[in-house]
DNA sequence: CAAGATTGACTCGTCAATCTTT
DNA sequence: AAAGATTGACGAGTCAATCTTG
């Protein structure tokens, strides 16, 4: 069949990545369920997270973030509003758009989830050398860049990291993607460490 | 996310893994679309792949493989039958169950996809040292094992690798999972060498 | 009865059409 | 007009009920 030398190694690697993300996904979903029961789905939690970290809402941005259509995003917001977790009012700058914010209930739920998720991640990754993590991040990022660059996709807004916003992302720097979080994060979002390379380019309230 | 020393590194790593799987996912979907247009979805292709690699069909197994309910799996098979890609007859051993096989059209479509996907993967991973891939596989697998072991999940049939079946899987060996492919692969499937290349898909929701 | 598969009622996604604001 | 959001029709998922075979 396919005769790449090392094709089996590649297949194993793709399988490993698949298994790993699926396991992390399950771990997170499990924490969420422990906190909220069936009240909130993972996708809904992501939306809460986005609202808590950024101020760049609009149904279109929500849609890109969740990876669904604007129609679905509109309904997703609707559900959270009806459950009393987010507030939706029309934006002052542009009355076509919406302005979202967490309710007290939403804030509290997200805080409880973050605590549980952090605890679980510590148990799993706690005793792992940061050098190893850093090395894998770097290699994975380089591979991702080489994949993404094949798609011509000019200058899209990127949501690929899910909720794992980072200050230094190879996709943003090398594949000329526009990072949504970078543009829209809220002032209080903590900055990164990363070897003294301050890069405080962000830290601005957006300018829409 | 959390205040572990190195919490930022961990967050970056999770983001990298997320980005990578999403990029691979898109790459595969893109190859599929180039081959079939909108005729076949990625999930449908996975099902074709499963049928081509194993003989362990049954709507329940299909359901576990795709990560959906048996009801959905039943309908998924139905769609492929109606498109003339899969044959479905009742199994001789157990007339409650079904026996699936690819039609000529299905075989041909899958072959074209495999060729395109293999080509794309070569372009991306072609010049990468196999040692690096192997090292990352190992580390990712160890992390996955430590995550999966937290869920007590006694002796389930495992589909976590998607279609990236491998002979030596840490999950099977260390987390006492039962590997579906290991049990059901077809006789002609080569053992420790290449069997086409994969595709993979982000996991859907868990099966309750 | 238990296991496997299917079907019906319902939820959530997509696309296309529509309405409002710029 | 163009952009943002919402709504209707429909595809594909879930659970619960049912039918057939072991």
Contact B194 A2 (CB under 8 A): yes
Distance CA A171, CA A150 (A): 13
Contact B15 A122 (CB under 8 A): no
Cβ–Cβ < 8 Å for B114, B32: no
More confident residue, A191 or B90: B90
What is residue B191's predicted lDDT score, i.e. its pLDDT?
43
More confident residue, B194 or A58: A58
CB nearest A9 (choices: B133, B143, B171): B133
Q: Is the CB of B74 under 7 A from strand D?
A: no
| A139-148, A197-206, B140-149: least confidently modelled range | A197-206
Average per-residue pLDDT in chain B?
Answer: 80
**pLDDT tens readout for residues A59-74:** 999 998 898 999 999 9
Q: Does residue A204 carry a pLDDT above 60?
A: no
Q: What's this model's pTM, rounded to 2 decimal places?
A: 0.82
**pLDDT tens readout for residues B17-32:** 988 998 888 888 888 8
Under 8 Å CB-to-CB from A137, ≥6 apart: which residues? B9, B12, B13, B15, B16
Q: Does residue B106 carry a pLDDT above 90?
A: yes
Q: Is the CB of B4 under 7 A from strand D?
A: no
| A146-155, A173-182, B81-90: least confidently modelled range | A146-155
What is residue B154's predicted lDDT score, i.e. its pLDDT?
52
Q: How many CA within 13 A on the CB side of residue B155? A: 0
Distance CA B156, CA A34 (A): 21
**pLDDT tens readout for residues B148-177:** 887 655 556 787 788 788 888 888 877 767
């Amino acid at each position: 069949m396919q005769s790449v030398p090392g094709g089996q190694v590649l297949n194993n690697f793709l399988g490993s990545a698949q298994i790993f993300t699926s396991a992390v996904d399950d771990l997170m979903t499990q924490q969420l369920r422990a906190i909220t029961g069936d009240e909130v789905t993972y996708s809904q939690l992501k939306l809460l997270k986005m609202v808590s970290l950024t101020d760049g809402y609009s149904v279109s941005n929500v849609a890109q973030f969740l990876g669904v259509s604007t129609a679905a995003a509109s309904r997703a917001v609707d559900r959270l509003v009806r459950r009393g977790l987010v507030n939706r009012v029309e934006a002052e700058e542009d009355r076509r758009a919406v302005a979202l914010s967490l309710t007290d209930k939403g804030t509290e739920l997200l805080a409880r989830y973050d605590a549980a998720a952090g605890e679980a991640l510590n148990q799993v990754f706690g005793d792992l050398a940061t050098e190893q993590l850093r090395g894998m991040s770097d290699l994975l990022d380089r591979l991702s860049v080489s994949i993404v660059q094949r798609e011509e996709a000019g200058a899209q807004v990127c949501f690929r990291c899910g909720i794992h916003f980072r200050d230094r992302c190879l996709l943003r720097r090398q594949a000329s993607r526009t990072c949504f979080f970078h543009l829209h994060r809220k002032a209080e979002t903590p900055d990164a460490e990363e070897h003294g390379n301050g890069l405080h380019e962000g830290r601005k309230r957006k300018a829409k």
